[in-house]
């Protein structure tokens, strides 16, 4: 009976893989346009959304103290709800950064003849662990709110900033001239 | 009777597939695949002939020939690796690494098994084929995982080749697993299900391989001025920084 379950499980795994294949788009990912998009996303985040001063301002605890002392209780809830939404948005952006980095790494690594399968497996597991950790943090913020763990918000901001900076280094080889060359007419509109 | 009707229909489809492959000059491009098709034609023709002329030969020849097609079937997997992953040396290396391991297991099984157990019962050989099919199933899952992970695109030819063979392996694996558990009472169903699933695979191949459809390639091949080690080091660096901040 155990062997039957085992082989049927292998069959289910194969069926799932074939199902995903049948539903999959044939267009390859990680092409130059995807790299251009990754670069563009980083720029937008760095320039408009991630400066540390702005993050500190958005999550400043003084705001909460002011609202708590100067406004009625119904405003407290509204305020906390909005701040929680912002914290969740921030965590979502960290996840986007990790996903962007992973996509860039996969898009580049598959072209290397000297690719090390073991290293790739390790990296894939690390990415999965990071994404999982971010998801757990999102749940914590959702349940406990943005001010329940004030250090965590700062942590998230720093992580997002650092991730952006280092990802930019990873994408550094895509200088402006090359970006222009890589971008298709449709990409040119975005750039 | 229904089994022989299904096998006869299968033989017709196999000839059609091979004929179309020759006409569209696909045989040169996918020679491992068409070698498999030719081996299956030989197997089916011998089995039909044996059943008509000397039914006792059928049972004697069935398993050696079936194992032969199982080994040539591995050529389809090689074809997939060669064609889909060729423009991506890194991903190809990854898939080849796992594929060679799986092929080694199949070959070792095929060579050593007759020496270890020369007088197999029907039940034992069914379990043996089930094991080999599961190795192929795991290999296909592995290659598909590499294809999905690295976001590699596929043309109609390759997608159909994988779908057809994957479907046949899936049905074989499931029916062999149930047959080895349930015993001979499953034979009546098994005798119809296995050749029928292969006919369905043949129809998929016929449609997918009607004409040549190359695999899409990345629109630009970017020459990176750094080696793989540097890329990994940078990626690990970013992840280390993120980990340090999150505190995991």
> Where do the structural domains in chain B lie, given as residue ranges?
2-223
Model confidence band, residue B164 (pLDDT cutoffs 50, 70, 90): very high
Nearest to A15 among B170, B241, B242 (CB): B170
Q: Tokens for A3, please give them.
A: 């062997």
Is A38 a residue whose pLDDT tops 80? no
| Residue B48 or residue A113, greater confidence | B48
With both helix axes pointing from N to C terminus, report the angle between A61-70 and A73-109 in degrees, rounded to the nearest 10: 160
B153 to chain A: nearest residue by CA? A28
Average pLDDT over residues A20-45: 64
Alpha carbons within 13 A on the beta-carbon side of A167? 28
| Residue B182 or residue A108, greater confidence | B182
CB of B144 less than 8 A from some CB of A? yes
In a 3-state reduction of DSSP, which class is residue A75? Answer: helix
Nearest to A14 among B91, B151, B169 (CB): B169
Please state which CATH class domain B2-223 belongs to: mainly alpha
Alpha carbons within 13 A on the beta-carbon side of B158? 24
Q: What pTM value is reported for the model?
A: 0.69
Burial of residue B112, with CB atoms counted within 10 A of its CB: 0-12 exposed, 13-18 middle, 19 or more buried: exposed
Model confidence band, residue B20 (pLDDT cutoffs 50, 70, 90): very high
CB of B206 less than 8 A from some CB of A? no
Top mean-pLDDT range of A28-32, A160-164, B186-190: B186-190
User: B242 and A162 in contact by Cβ < 8 A?
Assistant: yes
Q: Tokens for B161, please give them.
A: 């080749």
Chain A hits for B173, Cβ within 8 Å: 7, 10-11, 14
Question: Long-range contacts for A58-67 (Cβ within 8 Å, ≥24 apart)?
Answer: A58/A86, A59/A83, A59/A86, A59/A87, A59/A146, A59/A150, A59/A153, A59/A154, A59/A157, A61/A147, A61/A150, A64/A147
Chain A hits for B130, Cβ within 8 Å: 7
A103 to chain B: nearest residue by CA? B150
User: A7 and B130 in contact by Cβ < 8 A?
Assistant: yes
User: A119 and B221 in contact by Cβ < 8 A?
Assistant: no
User: A155 and B176 in contact by Cβ < 8 A?
Assistant: no
User: A127 and B239 in contact by Cβ < 8 A?
Assistant: yes
Contacts across the A-B interface (CB distance below 8 Å): 197
> How far away is chain A from the Cα of B41, in angstroms, using its nearest Cα?
26
CB of B235 less than 8 A from some CB of A? yes
Distance CA B208, CA B143 (A): 19
Residues B118-137 pLDDT 10s: 555 555 677 777 888 888 88
Chain A hits for B242, Cβ within 8 Å: 94, 98, 130, 159, 162-163
Residues B68-117 pLDDT 10s: 888 888 888 888 888 888 777 777 777 777 766 666 665 676 566 666 65
Average pLDDT over residues B153-176: 90
pLDDT at B116: 64
User: A18 and B170 in contact by Cβ < 8 A?
Assistant: yes
A35 to chain B: nearest residue by CA? B222
| Residue B192 or residue B233, greater confidence | B192
Average pLDDT over residues B192-208: 90
Is A189 a residue whose pLDDT tops 50? no
Distance CA A18, CA B200 (A): 15
CB of B112 less than 8 A from some CB of A? no
């Amino acid at each position: 009976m155990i062997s039957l379950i085992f082989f049927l499980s292998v069959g289910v795994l194969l069926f799932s893989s074939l199902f995903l294949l049948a539903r999959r788009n044939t267009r390859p990912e990680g092409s130059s346009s995807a790299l251009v998009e990754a670069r563009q996303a980083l720029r937008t985040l760095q320039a408009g959304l991630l400066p540390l001063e702005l993050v500190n301002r958005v999550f400043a605890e003084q705001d909460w103290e002011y609202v708590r002392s100067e406004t009625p209780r119904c405003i407290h809830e509204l305020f906390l709800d909005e701040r929680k939404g912002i914290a969740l948005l921030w965590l979502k952006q960290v996840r986007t950064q990790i996903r962007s980095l992973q996509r860039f790494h996969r898009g580049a690594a598959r072209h290397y003849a000297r690719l090390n399968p073991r290293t790739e497996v390790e990296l894939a597991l690390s990415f999965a662990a990071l994404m999982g950790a971010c998801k757990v943090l999102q749940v914590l913020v959702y349940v406990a709110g943005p001010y329940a763990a004030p250090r965590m918000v700062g942590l998230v901001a720093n992580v997002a900033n650092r991730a952006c900076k280092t990802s930019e280094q990873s994408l550094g080889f895509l200088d402006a001239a090359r970006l222009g060359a890589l971008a298709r007419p449709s990409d040119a509109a975005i750039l | 009777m229904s089994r022989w009707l299904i096998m006869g229909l299968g033989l017709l489809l196999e000839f059609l597939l091979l004929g179309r492959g020759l006409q569209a000059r696909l045989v040169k491009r996918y020679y491992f695949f068409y070698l498999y098709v030719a081996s299956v034609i030989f197997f089916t023709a011998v089995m039909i002939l044996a059943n008509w002329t000397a039914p006792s030969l059928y049972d004697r020849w069935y398993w050696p020939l079936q194992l032969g097609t199982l080994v040539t079937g591995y050529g389809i997997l090689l074809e997939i690796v060669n064609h889909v992953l060729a423009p991506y040396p890194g991903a190809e290396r990854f898939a080849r690494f796992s594929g060679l391991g799986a092929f080694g297991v199949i070959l070792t099984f095929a060579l050593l098994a007759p020496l270890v157990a020369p007088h197999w019962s029907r039940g034992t050989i069914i379990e043996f084929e089930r094991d080999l099919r599961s190795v192929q199933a795991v290999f296909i899952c592995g290659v598909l995982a590499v294809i999905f992970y690295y976001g590699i695109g596929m043309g109609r030819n390759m997608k159909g080749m994988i779908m057809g063979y994957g479907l046949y392996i899936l049905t074989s694996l499931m029916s062999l697993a149930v047959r080895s558990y349930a015993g001979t009472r499953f034979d009546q169903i098994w005798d119809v299900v296995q050749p029928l699933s292969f006919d369905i695979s043949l129809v998929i191949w016929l449609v997918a391989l009607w004409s040549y459809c190359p695999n899409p390639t990345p629109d630009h091949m970017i020459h990176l001025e750094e080696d793989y080690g540097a890329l990994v080091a940078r990626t690990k660096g970013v992840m280390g920084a993120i980990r340090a901040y999150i505190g995991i």
